[in-house]
Structure 1
Amino acid sequence: MITLGILITDNGPAPLLEQHGNFADLFERLLNGSDVAFEYRHYSVIDGEFPASLDECQAWLITGSAHGVYDDLPWMASLKTLIRTLHEQHSPLVGICFGHQIIAEALGAQVEKFSGGWNLGIKAYQVSEQLPCFGNDGVSEPVTQFAISAIHQDQVLTVPQGARVFASAPRCANAGLVWGDHILTFQGHPEFYRQYEQDLLTADLGVAFPDEELQPALEGLAEDALDDRKVGQWIARFIQQGVAEK
C-alpha cells in the first residue's frame, strides 16, 4: 500500500461539500477506483499545514484551488519550496489544475489568465507522448486522446525547463506536463465526475461564466465521453511506478 500525501490548496465550493465532499475526498474517490492500493494523509497547506518530514508519505498530490498562483499568498511560497525539494529528490508528485500550475511556476513556467477566457465542461486533450503509466489498458493501440472535466481561466503559458508536454488542446496548449518519471500534471480535473462538474457549473459561486462557453459545456456533460476513471488509473500507475523507481 502506498502512502499518498494530499496537499490541499482549497476545500472546494461550500454549496457542494455536503453532497460531494471536499477536494481531497474527490481524489480519494478517484484513486480508490484504480487497481493500486493507497492510504491517505491530508495536509491543509492553504491553512499553513505542511508535512514535518517528507518521509511521512511516499508520494504527493496537489489539489485544485480557486486561487491563482499569482495571488502570492504566504502558503504558496512554502508550497513552491516543497515542490522544488520534491523535484530535487525525484519524489512522485502529481498536480491537478492549480496544482499543475503551481508546480510549473515553481519550476520556471509563466502562468497567467488565458486571453481566450474560460475553459468549461468536458474537454478533449490530444496526446503527443505515450507515457508508461498509460499501460495501453490491455490493447495494442496507442492513446491518442482523453477527455476530462475542466473549469479554469489560468493556464501554463510556457513550458518549464525539464518538462515535456504530453497533452494539449486547441485552447490549452500545455494541458499535460511530465518531468522524468516523478512529476505528472494535468490542467483538467479527472477527479470531477460528471455530476460534480454539472453541479459546479450550475452552483452559485459568485462567478459569471460566459453563456457562449457555459451552455455548450452543460450540453456536453449530457453527451460527451468522459475518461475520468481511465485518467485516475494513469495517475495511480504513475505514482506506483515512481515509488518503485525511487
Structure 2
Amino acid sequence: MMSAKRIRICILENGRTPDDLIDRFGSYPMMIEKWLAPFLPQAAFTYLSPVSGDKLPSPAEFDGYILSGSKYSTYERSPWMVGLIAFLQQLRQERIPVFGICFGHQLMADAYGGLNAKSSKGWGVGSQRYEHDTHTLPAENAAYVFHQDQVNKIPPEATRIGGSAHCENGVFAYSFPAISVQYHPEFTAEYVQALAEKFRGGLLPDLVSANALDSISQLPVDATPIAEWVAGFFQKHIDG
C-alpha cells in the first residue's frame, strides 16, 4: 500500500535546456517532475541547480535525490562536478536514495568507482531499443537517448540490469539505494526531435540527426514502466 507520508525529493539540475527551447519544453527538473509526479503523488519536489552555482544541501535535508542530464562531460571535473561527486559519496554513506539520468548515470558511476568516457561508438540520438535484466522493468522497451559519453567500467557495487546495442552499460542498480539510466525517460518525442533538428550539421553530424529523426517516427516510447520503477524505488527506500 502506498505510503501517505510526504516524500521530499530534490532534483539536481546539471544542465540547462537550450535558451530557444526552454519556454516551449521547460527546464530539465520540470520535465522530470512532469514525468514522475503522477506515479509518486506523495512527493514534494524541490529544484536545485549545481550547474548554475547553487549550494548543495546537507544530505538529510531531503528524502531522496534525482540527478538530471547535462551537455557537459563528467571527465571535465568542473568544481561543481567535484562537489557533486563528494555529495554522492555522502548519500551512499548515509543510504539516502538517489536516481540518475544520462549525465547523472555517468557521474554516479564515476563517484562510485566506475569510469565514464567518450564512446568510440559515437553519438546515440533518438529512440533506441533497450533490454532489461530485471523483473521490475520490461524485458524490452524503447527509450530516448542523447549522448556520446558512456560508462565503460562498471562500479564495483553496481549491477548492470539493462543496456542497448549502442550502450551496453545503460542501466545500473547498486548494492546501496541507488539506480541510474543512460536514457532519458523524462524526454518527449517532440523535445528529442527539436534537439536533433537544432544541432543538425553542427554538434551532430547530418546523418546522426537524420537517423535520429527516423527512429523517433518509427520507434514509439512509453516511459511509464520506468516511472513506476523509479517511484517504487523511492517508496521502498523512504520510510513510511
Segments of 4+ in structure 1 off by > 6 A? none
Stretch moving more, 77-86 or 219-228? 219-228
2:148 maps to which of 142, 148, 153: 153
**Equivalent residue pairs, number:** 235
For residues 12 and 89 of structure 2, the distance between their equivalents in structure 1, rounded to whole angstroms, comes to: 15
- Cα displacement (A) at 1:204: 4.5
* Aligned match of 1:224: 219
Contact 2:59 2:87 in 1 (8 A): no
- Cα displacement (A) at 1:39: 0.8
Q: TM-score, normalised by structure 2?
A: 0.92
SS in 1 for 2:169: strand
- Cα displacement (A) at 1:36: 3.7
Q: TM-score, normalised by structure 1?
A: 0.90
1:14 maps to which of 7, 13, 19: 19
For residues 154 and 95 of structure 1, the distance between their equivalents in structure 2, rounded to whole angstroms, comes to: 15
Contact 1:11 1:24 in 2 (8 A): no
* Aligned match of 2:3: none
Relative contact order, higher structure (CA 8 A, sep 6+) = 1
* Aligned match of 2:101: 96
For residues 75 and 206 of structure 1, the distance between their equivalents in structure 2, rounded to whole angstroms, comes to: 30
SS in 2 for 1:244: coil
1:29 maps to which of 29, 34, 49: 34
For residues 127 and 158 of structure 2, the distance between their equivalents in structure 1, rounded to whole angstroms, comes to: 25
Contact 2:200 2:206 in 1 (8 A): no
One-letter amino acid of the counterpart of residue 185, structure 1: S
- Cα displacement (A) at 1:206: 8.2
Stretch moving more, 215-224 or 65-74? 215-224
Stretch moving more, 12-21 or 60-69? 12-21
> For 1:203-242, what aligned pairs fall within 5 Å after superposition?
203-204=198-199, 207-242=202-237
Q: CA RMSD in A?
A: 1.7
For residues 75 and 200 of structure 2, the distance between their equivalents in structure 1, rounded to whole angstroms, comes to: 21
* Aligned match of 1:85: 90
For residues 10 and 184 of structure 1, the distance between their equivalents in structure 2, rounded to whole angstroms, comes to: 20
One-letter amino acid of the counterpart of residue 198, structure 1: Q
Query: Which residues of structure 2 form unaligned runs of 5+?
Result: 1-5
